[in-house]
Amino acid sequence: MVDVGNLKAAVDLEKRSGFMKLYFDIRGWVELTCDRCLEKYRQQVENTAEIFVKFGENDREDDDQVIWILPEEHRINLAQLIYEYIVLSIPLKHVHPPGENGESGCNKEMIERLSDHQPGTGENPAGVDPRWEKLKKLRNNN
């Protein structure tokens, strides 16, 4: 989903007697494809999160906010967590942010081409396919 980007992830570790707490702060941009005009653009993203690391003999999945590790472990791989936090910070709609003057940042030529294919334009301004009208007449006759 995300191939190009420039992000910084800061992770703070707070060690307590029975567990550890990790604080994530992720900021930067990712390159996305606009849903409207299909051009690439840079989407600013930021996310902050915290997660607990607890020690135990078996893998348990009590909560999404808790990672269980073996007591003899000395490392935690955070790459997958950081990736998931980045993906969660991307908005569902991928559209160019508005420009300085409030106008859409989308490719104007592509938006004009798309508007030519909207219902109610072109050969059939009503937006209804004449074949459907003939089928409706058949249904009404029965």
pLDDT 10s digits, 1-39: 667 899 999 999 999 888 899 999 999 999 999 988 888
E-state strands within the chain: 5-15, 19-33, 40-55, 66-69
pTM for this prediction:
0.71
pLDDT at 142 (0 to 100): 61
SS3 content of the chain, % helix, strand, coil (to 5): 20, 30, 45
Average pLDDT (31-60) is: 87
Each residue's pLDDT tens digit, 62-84: 677 888 888 888 888 999 999 99
- pLDDT bin (cut points 50, 70, 90) of residue 60 is low
- Inter-residue contact 55 to 19 (CB < 8 Å): yes
